[in-house]
Copies of this chain bind each other. A is one copy, B any other.
Amino acid sequence: MSCSSCLYKRVSMFSLFRGKSSCVNLTKMFYLVGLGLGDVKDITVRGLEIVKKCDKVLLESYTSILTVGKEELEKFYERPLILADRELCESNIDELLKEAKDKHIALLVVGDPLGATTHTDMLLRAKELHVETQIVHNASIMNAVGCCGLQLYNFGETVSIPYWTDNWKPDSFYEKIEANYSRNLHTLCLLDIKVKEPTEESLTKKIRQYMDPKFMSVKEAASQLVQIIENKSDTELSKQSIAVGLSRVGNPDQKIAVKSLEEMEQLDLGPPLHSLVIPAPNLHPVELDYLAQFR
């Protein structure tokens, strides 16, 4: 596909970079680069410069996913990427960090690099090993959730909703939702992601086996919430309470739906990632007006 506006873009982009005299300061370093939430073009200009110039670029693959895969990123960056799983990022991180003493290494992370504890840990470890680090921030669901019209400063503590199993149905996150609700605050619920998780069998038998990746949907989260509510005698929330379902935030095909939790149990919001918001009971008029368009 080609069009005159594309041509214009190519020319202007070229002149943009041709004219610059500043350059990324690349003392040997370990970069944590946020990719934002949408697709390949949601990396920042600074982030892209780093990716282009690093000796080695890894793509973190287990705390979140981008709506596009590794291949599209590689095509856009014109370089190969190495997938970094939990083992590499947690158990084998020292090797990687030590490499960053004489090489420029970047770890690409979906959203903002400091949304997950793993990466803070990594930076601490780097400090111990005297490895220089640099963070390139980007949008994360923690701020992009503002796209549903609920004001960011009216959000309370964020919670994570984990996948239940037959024997393990934790619901401690629910108390936090209730505590926010009673203070008239919204709750952002981050939904569970299982990527390269060892199977139960592999844990007991010491064979390395992994489950298929799965990403909790708004539908599944709503269903778990309804079950919790049904088992509580004294709770302010009900099956009829309003929730906001979001999928693929930041992507052109993002979806936002406002429904009761009960209705949300039947809702298909398409491919991952999904997030759920439980709004405060009393909303600001602008919040109400904004949500109304997603009913």
Contacts and interface: CB of A to CB of B under 8 A. Distances in A.
Interface of A: 1-3, 5-6, 8-10, 12-26, 34, 36-38, 40-46, 48-49, 52-53, 76-78, 111-112, 114-115, 117, 120-121, 123-124, 127, 135, 137-140, 142-144, 146-147, 149, 151-160, 179, 183, 185, 190, 249-250, 252, 284, 286-287, 289-290, 293
Q: Which 8 A-B pairs have the closest CB atoms?
A: A114-B146, A137-B139, A41-B46, A13-B17, A6-B23, A41-B45, A153-B158, A140-B143
A120 B286 contact: yes
Contact of A286 (B2, B41, B124, B250): B124
A293 B127 contact: yes
A7 to B, nearest CB: 9
Contacts of A3: 23
A273 to B, nearest CB: 14
A120 B151 contact: yes
Contact of A115 (B146, B249, B290): B146
A138 B139 contact: yes
Contact of A12 (B78, B112, B137): B78
B135 A142 contact: no
Contact of A49 (B41, B48, B159): B41
Contacts of A284: 117
Contacts of A53: 5, 8-9, 12
A144 B135 CA distance: 10
A287 B124 CA distance: 10
Nearest to A8: B53
A113 to B, nearest CB: 8
B14 A17 contact: yes
A156 B156 contact: yes
Contact of A114 (B1, B143, B185): B143
Contacts of A157: 153-156, 183, 185
Contacts of A5: 23, 26, 53
A16 B52 contact: yes
23 contacts: A2-B21, A6-B20, A10-B17, A13-B14, A13-B49, A14-B17, A25-B252, A42-B46, A42-B137, A45-B45, A114-B144, A115-B143, A117-B286, A120-B149, A121-B286, A137-B147, A140-B152, A142-B143, A143-B143, A152-B158, A153-B160, A155-B158, A156-B156
Contacts of A138: 36, 44, 138-139
Contacts of A17: 9-10, 13-14
A139 B139 contact: yes
